[in-house]
Structure 1
Amino acid sequence: MDSQAEMQTTPSCQSDRVTTSVYPAGALNMLSREEVARLSNASEEMGEVLRRCALAVLNSGEQGDDAEAMLAKYHDFQIQVHQVNRGMRIDLQNAPACAFVDGKMIHGIRELLSAVVRDIVYFETEIHPNPYFDLSDSEGVTNAVFEIVRNARVVDAQREPNLVVCWGGHSISGEEYDYTKEVGYQLGLRGRDICTGCGPGAMKGPMKGATIAHAKQRTLPGHYVGVSEPGIIAAESPNPIVNELIILPDIEKRLEAFVRIGHGIVVFPGGVGTAEEILFILGVMLNPANREMPLPLIFTGPASAGDYFEEIDRFIGLTLGEEARELYSIIIDDPVAVAREMTAGIERVRDFRVQVNDAFYFNWLLKIDPDFQRPFEPTHQAMSELRISRDLPRHELAANLRRAFSGIVAGNVKPNGVRAIREHGPFQIQGEPEIMEALDQLLTRFVAQHRMKLPGGEVYEPCYRIV
């Protein structure tokens, strides 16, 4: 008889829908009866969040970033978690047929589905109600992030530093996508694993390139870590290459997970989400407590992206100053140079961790100010009340700019944000005139280059207004 990890019931199919039951794969295939019971009970309470995230991973590999359209198309999709003699069974009703081949769920998608159940329910049963994790305290937030990634079995005490975080847009040109693959390939040839936001575009390309390099170097299986959160995953479904998925409860903990588990960061061209990530890491690294800490940060793209990074560089210089510009390097149209500089940077990270006796697998010593950890709900009132001025301390200005970009991301692709824009109109963002002018120019460029959303039949309507 097949093992539990391989079993699934005979599905019932109707055109583009499948109703079936599957047993978990990966970290969920061995649990106590008490753990399974808690998961089953919590899955009912977390119903809509679990349903939305499960639908996103079942739709893995499909094009599109319209979360509302996907949720409407599969409005009759249901997921339930049950305790059975074998442990746990996941029942799916009217699931997308693209997740199955000849009636059997694709193994990688089954792993991603298991990760959804694991992370969404683990946070609600083990982290959120536990008084040990004070989520209003900076250290408590960091401990919660660590527990989530450890429970996902992503951290490995025996692994040398080699995880490169790659940030960039989901809506990029074919030339930019090919470039991300080449950078991933060069990193893979040098033994580097890849971590991204797990979606399409610049989140998929580096992983795709690295898989070829890992195969050539016989370093398979490679580690292709995808880090997401419930608000974004429906619009940016995990790409099929991700083999280690982590879902953090909100964008702030997602960003902290990136910089705690990664050993270097490569930034490709992108839109407001990428700008948000850039402002997060620069705001963190500008903290005087992190002054001596090495963290290689490289902005890169093909020759056609030169102007893009020049404008990003100018915006950073205007808002955060010259000290922020010294934290990164810009390498245009040279994947080999990117991989070599990143490899050298990770060696410095290793030496520093040895010197200060910090873990290779989690950057405990990185100081993250509470302003970058506190969840921001981008309502119309909250967006209009953001203070954006160079009179503020730099870390506070960086945090508020990060929140402004986060709100635009929500208005573009997150179901709650899209609904708020439809009901109440665009967010209003106001602040120091010179910064507002530069911000307006940057966002206008993103719109013109189709970096806000994947190109479709409708003309993009900005979800924001610069005052």
Structure 2
Amino acid sequence: MSNKSTFVTQNAVIRPEGRLEILSKQEVAKLLDTSQRGLHTAFRNCTLAVMNSGNELDSGKELLERYPDFDVQVIQEERGIKLQLSNAPASAFVDGEMIRGIREHVFAVLRDIIFVNDEITNNPLFDLQTTAGVSDAVFHILRNANIVRPTTDPRLVVCWGGHSISREEYDYSKLVGYQMGLRGLDICTGCGPGAMKGPMKGATIGHAKQRIKHGKYLGITEPGIIAAEAPNPIVNDLVIMPDIEKRLEAFVRVAHAIIVFPGGVGTAEEILYLLGVLLHPDNREMPLPLIFTGPLTSKSYFEQIDQFIGLTLGAEAQKRYQIIIDDPVAVAQQAQAGIAKVKTFRRGNGDAFYFNWLLKVSETFQQPFEVTHESMRNLNLHKDQDAHDLAAGLRRAFSGVVSGNVKERGIRLIEEHGPFELHGDKKLMQAMDALLAQFVAQGRMRLPGKKYEPCYRISA
């Protein structure tokens, strides 16, 4: 045992079991490379994040500060590889052995970091400056992780919602998950705690009652957010996408229905992303059931979200979703009915059940948004543009707030240069300010008991 930090740590050696058991010398060298172009930092930070599963923490910077001496080294042997872990969180082990689910997640990190670097980022076959190239890259990452399977009927429900929610909201998300599990539906979330864990936990009981032995509990994350939203223990398929934009596209490409629970800025970002995509003229006839739901105490939350959408994106955007309050059975039934329409549409249009190729995702939703004080100031937050373009700008604004709240790089930018500044149309900025103020008042920006200091400043 070692205790160089204030948290209990442990050293260990782990080996893969049936997955990614060998690496090339070049791959190992990249994973050991600590330079800016090397993969060691990303691999180390993501590995630490998945090993922190179950611990209440929503700051990537704080996690790295808790375990400053943590390290992971890839060691190549004659018969394969092993990972040597130094000063790892002791909570990831039981009687000296790493918990099996966490070990699987560690090797999922290794798989995706290697694949994205070798086969996507540095591969001239993928033109990541084109919409088709980005979508193809998203598909290949998911296929490499064995997520897209051609024989599967539509039944995957993507659930979005906050990591910082009340106990009543969490319990409600479990009830919805239970009702979906009873109907044989699988669950995909952002893989973290709160509303990302609740539907999965409920679905496990529904699946067990129906004797469904191979339920899917898919978690999709990315390196910038994984430390703040460590994979919950129910996730049995984990995928690490390269950035938030590809993560969001992965969600909407694999989803057969989407359910939104109460959340904060990250949930608002996801809603704006999806509505912006659905509002594109090419997607006018595209069925994709979208349901906002929560317990009775969350009614005002969704009224605020609905009002914000109406003020910014208009009535057409409001037609793309339904709000169901305090009725888990109705939510599951509506999701199931919507999925039947998705199946009919895709079959009639020759599209795959496992990946929504026909969905148009424009470049403004695909190209990575680098959050800086300058890029946040320069966002086009004015109403003299098409609704789907405005949604793209609003999505980036909320993405910047997420970065300033929980991502290591964003937190450091705020510490060094102060809050991000957002400018735009007066009524639009007032609506955004009011929504964010409600998130703060309701404790949706940080985990309970933690004081929130705004990372943004809004002006017309």
Q: TM-score, normalised by structure 2?
A: 0.96
Alignment partner of 2:339: what SS? Answer: helix
Which stretch of structure 1 is more off in the superposition, 333-342 or 392-401?
A: 392-401
Deviations 1:188-234 (A, max 9, x none): 00000100000000000000000111111111221100000000001
CA distance in 2: counterparts of 1:72 and 1:433, whole angstroms: 40
What is aligned with 1:377? 370
Deviations 1:389-430 (A, max 9, x none): 110121211000000000000000000000000110000011
In structure 2, what residue type is equivalent to 1:83?
Q
What is aligned with 1:28? 20
What is aligned with 1:439? 432
- The answer as to whether partners of 1:42 and 1:124 remain within 8 angstroms in 2 is no
CA distance in 2: counterparts of 1:265 and 1:434, whole angstroms: 29
Query: Please, which of 87, 98, 113 is the counterpart of residue 91 of structure 2?
Result: 98
In structure 2, what residue type is equivalent to 1:386?
L
CA distance in 2: counterparts of 1:446 and 1:264, whole angstroms: 26
What is aligned with 2:235? 242
Structure 1 runs (4+) greater than 6 angstroms displaced: none
Deviation, 1:143, is 0.7
Gaps of 5+ in 1: 1-11
Deviation, 1:41, is 2.1
Change in CA separation of 1:137 and 1:212 when aligned onto 2, cut-off 3 Å: same
CA distance in 1: counterparts of 2:401 and 2:246, whole angstroms: 18
Deviation, 1:27, is 3.5
- The answer as to whether partners of 1:40 and 1:83 remain within 8 angstroms in 2 is yes
Deviation, 1:36, is 3.5
Deviations 1:300-347 (A, max 9, x none): 000011111111111111111111100000000000000000001111
What is aligned with 1:7? none
Deviations 1:153-196 (A, max 9, x none): 11111111110000000000000000000000000000001000
Query: Please, which of 333, 336, 339 is the counterpart of residue 343 of structure 1?
Result: 336
What is aligned with 1:310? 303
What is aligned with 2:170? 177
What is aligned with 1:37? 25
CA distance in 1: counterparts of 2:329 and 2:269, whole angstroms: 27
CA distance in 2: counterparts of 1:217 and 1:292, whole angstroms: 34
Query: Please, which of 304, 313, 326 is the counterpart of residue 319 of structure 2?
Result: 326
Deviation, 1:26, is 5.3
CA distance in 2: counterparts of 1:100 and 1:259, whole angstroms: 35
Q: Does 1:462 align with 2:459?
A: no
What is aligned with 1:67? 60
RMSD of Structure 2 on Structure 1 (CA): 1.2
What is aligned with 2:50? 57
CA distance in 1: counterparts of 2:253 and 2:102, whole angstroms: 26
Q: TM-score, normalised by structure 1?
A: 0.95
1:442-453 pair list within 5 angstroms: 442-453=435-446
CA distance in 2: counterparts of 1:26 and 1:203, whole angstroms: 28
**How many correspondences in the alignment?**
451
Query: Please, which of 96, 103, 119 is the counterpart of residue 126 of structure 1?
Result: 119
CA distance in 2: counterparts of 1:47 and 1:214, whole angstroms: 39
1:45-444 pair list within 5 angstroms: 45-444=38-437
Alignment partner of 1:299: what SS? Answer: strand
In structure 2, what residue type is equivalent to 1:231?
G
CA distance in 1: counterparts of 2:83 and 2:77, whole angstroms: 10
In structure 1, what residue type is equivalent to 2:114?
V
- The answer as to whether partners of 1:279 and 1:399 remain within 8 angstroms in 2 is yes
Which stretch of structure 1 is more off in the superposition, 228-237 or 85-94?
A: 85-94
Deviations 1:88-117 (A, max 9, x none): 211111111111100111100000000011
CA distance in 1: counterparts of 2:217 and 2:17, whole angstroms: 17
What is aligned with 1:8? none
What is aligned with 2:35? none
CA distance in 2: counterparts of 1:169 and 1:90, whole angstroms: 33
Gaps of 5+ in 2: 33-37
In structure 1, what residue type is equivalent to 2:340?
E
CA distance in 2: counterparts of 1:69 and 1:368, whole angstroms: 34
In structure 2, what residue type is equivalent to 1:311?
Q
